[in-house]
Structure 1
Amino acid sequence: MHPFTYSRATDVADAVRDKAGHVASAYIGGGTNLIDLMKMNVEQPAHLVNVAKLPLSKIEDLPDGGLRLGATATNSDTAWNEDVKKRYPLLNQAILAGASPQLRNAATNGGNLMQRTRCYYFYDVATPCNKREPGSGCSAIGGYNRVCGILGTSEACIATHPSDMCVALAALAPTVRVSGPNGERTIAFEDFHRLPGDQPEFDNTLAEGELITSLDLPEKGFAKNFAYLKLRDRHSYAFALVSVAVGLEMDGDTIKEARLALGGVAHKPWRDQSAEDLLKGQPATAETFGRVAAHVVANAVGQGSNDFKIELARRAIVRALKQAAEGQQQAGDMYLGGQ
C-alpha cells in the first residue's frame, strides 16, 4: 500500500472542498472495497477524505410518498429499517443476500453504488486491464472469464458490476442525489452506472469531486409481488454469477406493471425495459415468462468460460418471475456448488 494523507470531513461542503484541494484524492466511507483496492495497488489515492460520519445517515419519508436513504447509512441499518422491510422488501432481501453481516455493518449505501468489479484481472496488476490501465488490453477476453459479462460488453472490457443492492435499486428506479464543486444535482439510477464502451475505466457518470448524499426511492415498492434470486457458487459470502430482481403489480393473474433487472451479467446493473413492456398486460404463465426470458438473453454473448451464464440467466429469469407472480416472499438464494 502506498502512503497517503487522511482527513475527516465535518459536513458535505467541507468534504467537497477537501477533495478538490488534494491531487489524486478519494472519498472513503466504510472502506470495504477501497481498502482492498489500495492493498492490491489497484488504486493509489494520495489523500483520503472520510465521509462516514457526515450527517447523511437518516432514512426518512419523502413528501411524495417515497423514502430517502442516506448515503452514509450502513447496509445493515438500511436492510433492517422497518420502512424498507415493509415497503421495499425487494431491497431488503437483495442487501441481505450480499457480503457478510460484518461487511454490511460497515458498508454504506453510497459506497455500495461505487463498488468496482471483482474481475480477476482487474485485481492482478501484473496483467493488462483496460479498466485499471486504459489502452493496455483486456486479459479476460480470451482468458479465464467465468465471472465476466454476457450483456452490454465491448471489445475493451467484459467486467461485471458486483453489487446485489444495486440490482434491486435498478428495479426500483430511485434518484441519486449528489453534491460537488458545481453544486447539487440528481441522477436517475438507470443513468448512474455506465456500460464499458471504449472507456471502461469509468464506472459511473459522477463528475470529478461529486459525492453521493442520498438515494430517493419512489413510492411504489412492489411490496406484494417481488423476488430477488441470487445464483452463486457457495451459500456463504460470494458474488452472484447471475442475480434477478423482479417487481410486479398484478391484477388477478394479469401483469399490470413489471420491473426486471439482472446482476452478474453486465458492467452495470442490467434493467431490461423492453422485457418489462413485454410483460405488461400478459398472463402470469410459464409461457409468458419463458418468452420474456428468451428475449432478455437474445443478444447475450459468452466469452468461453462464462457461456453457461446465458442459459443460467434465462432459467433464473423464469424462476424469479414465477416467484414474484405467486407472491413467494422469500430470498430465493441458490448455491450452485461450483460450475
Structure 2
Amino acid sequence: MREFDYRRPSEVSEALALMSADPAEARFLGGGTNLVDLMKNGVERPGLLIDVRGLPLDRIEVTDGGGLHVGATVTNSDLAAHPEVRRRCPALAQAVLAGASGQLRNMATVGGNLLQRTRCGYFTDLGKPCNKRAPGSGCPAIAGEHLNHAILGGSAHCVATHASDMAVALTAFEAVVKYETPEGRGEVPLTEFYPPVGDTPHRETALPPGALVTAVVLPPAPVAAASRYRKVRGRASFAFAIGSLAAALEVRDGIVRDVRLAFGAVAARPWRALEAERVLTGGPATAEAFAAAADAELSAAQPLRDNGYKVMLMRNLVVAVLSELTEEATR
C-alpha cells in the first residue's frame, strides 16, 4: 500500500478545502470498507485520506410530510435499526441487513455505500485490462468470466454490475442525493446519480469533481410502508447478489394502485423497472400480470454467454415478491 497522509476535519467546509487543495491525490474516507480494500490491491493509490466520520452528518430525521433525511455518515447498522426507517420503508432496512456482516455494517456509511465501486474481478486485478479502471484498455469480462455481470444497460465497453443493496431500495423510492462543493450545495436524483455506461464506464457518478455527499433524502411515499427487499446470492452468507429486488405494492379491490420496483445486480446501476411499473399500474394484482410486467421490463435484456439465467431469476423474483405483498395487502 502506498504511504498516505491522513486528516480528520470537523466541518464540511474544512473537508472540501482539503479536497480542493489536491483533488488528484485526495479521497474522502467513510468507513473504508471498500476504499481500503482497493488501496490494498493497488486499484486506489491516494496520497491523502480525508476522514469524514467526524462531520456533523450522522443523523436520521423524519421530514415534513413523512419522508426521511439520512446523513451521509450514518452507519449502515444505525440505518437498519432506526425505528422510523423500519416503519416507513422496511425494504431499505432489509436491504442494508442483507448487504454485509454486522462488523462491516458497524463501519460502513450511507455515503460510502452509494460510492462503492464494482466487485468485478477484472476491475480489482491490476494484471488484467479494464475500461473502468484504465479507459481504453478493454473489457475482458465480455468474452471471459461474466457469470454475475450485467444483462441490462451494459455496453461493448463494460458489463460490470453495481454492488450496493442499499442503493437498490433507495432507487425504488426516488431518493435524492445531496452534496456540497466549494461552490455551494446541489442534489441529484438517485435514478440519475449513476450515469449510463456507454463508452465512459470510468465515469461512475454524476457528482461534480471534489463533491462531498452530505445526505440522502427519501421523499414521502406511503406505498413504501408495504415494501420488501429480496436478495438472491450464490451462497447463504454475506455474499454479493446475483439478483435482487426492491418492491412495494398498493392493492385495492384486486387492482394495483401503486407499485415500485428496482432490480439489483443486473446492471452497472440500480435498475428502476419503470416499464414493469407502467404495465402493472391499474391492472389486476395476479401472478400472471406480475409475470407479464417482468417480461416487459426484461425484454431489453442482453445476456452474455453465461449469465442468461438472470432473466428467469428476475422474472421469478418479481412474481414471488409481488404475490407475497398482494397476499399481505388483502388479508
- Asked if TM exceeds 0.5, the reply is yes
Class of the TM-score when normalised by the shorter of the 2 chains: over 0.9
Q: Report the counterpart of residue 188 of structure 1 in structure 2.
A: 189
> In 2, distance between residues paired with 1:307 and 1:66?
38
- Aligned residue for 2:220? 219
- 1:221 deviation in Å? 4.8
Match of 2:136 in 1: 135
1:257 aligns with 2:274: no
Deviates more, 1:300-309 or 1:129-138: 300-309
Contact 2:232–2:242 under 8 Å retained in 1: yes
Q: Is the 8 A contact 1:256 1:281 kept in 2?
A: yes
What are the superposed Cα offsets for residues 130-171 of structure 1, whole Å, 9 maximum, x if unpaired? 000000000101001011100000000000000111110011
C-alpha contact 1:164 1:263 (8 A) present in aligned 2: yes
Residue 261 of structure 1 aligns with an amino acid whose one-letter code is: A
TM-score (norm 2): 0.97
CA distance in 2, matches of 1:308, 1:65: 39
* 2:15 counterpart of 1:7: no
**How far is the alpha carbon of 1:52 from its aligned partner?**
1.0
CA RMSD of aligned residues (A): 1.2
SS in 2 for 1:222: helix
Whether contact under 8 Å (1:84, 1:91) holds in the other structure is yes
State the SS of the aligned residue for 1:97: helix
The farther-off stretch of 302-311 and 65-74 is 302-311
Name the CA distance, whole Å, in 1 between partners of 2:215 and 2:187: 10
Tell me the distance in 2 between the aligned counterparts of 1:300 and 1:81: 36
AA matched with 1:10? S
Amino acid at match of 1:11: E
Q: Which amino acid aligns with 2:9?
A: A
Give, in angstroms, the shift of residue 225 of structure 1: 2.9
| Percent of aligned positions that are identical | 45
Q: Distance in 2 between matches of 1:210 and 1:17?
A: 11
- For residues 223 and 135 of structure 1, the distance between their equivalents in structure 2, rounded to whole angstroms, comes to 41
Amino acid paired to 1:210 = A
Instruction: Report the more deviating stretch, 43-52 or 312-321.
Output: 312-321
* Unaligned runs of at least 5 residues, structure 2: none
TM-score, with normalisation over the residues of structure 1? 0.94
Deviations 1:41-97 (A, max 9, x none): 011111111101111000012123211011000000001001001111110111111
Per-residue CA distance 1:198-234 (angstroms, 9 max, x = gap):
0001111011110111111111153443221111011
Q: Which residue of structure 2 lines up, in the alignment, with residue 179 of structure 1?
A: 180
Residue identity opposite 2:188 in structure 1: I
SS at match of 1:231: strand
Count of residues in Structure 1 that have an aligned counterpart in Structure 2: 328
Displacement of 1:175: 1.2
Q: Is 2:206 aligned against 1:205?
A: yes
State the partner residue of 2:17.
17
Q: Which blocks of at least 5 consecutive residues in structure 1 are unaligned?
A: 329-339
Q: Does 1:125 align with 2:95?
A: no
Q: What SS is found at the alignment partner of 2:216?
A: strand
User: For the residues of structure 1 that align with 2:36 and 2:282, how far apart are their CA atoms?
Assistant: 47
Offset from partner CA, 1:272-331 (integer Å, 9 cap, x none): 212111111111101101100111111111111212111111111211221222238xxx
Give the Cα separation in 2 of the matches to 1:158 and 1:117.
10
Q: Structure 1: how far apart are the matches of 2:308 and 2:25?
A: 38
1:162 matched to 2:136? The reply is no
Q: Which runs of 4+ in 1 moved over 6 A?
A: none
2:301 equivalent in structure 1: 300
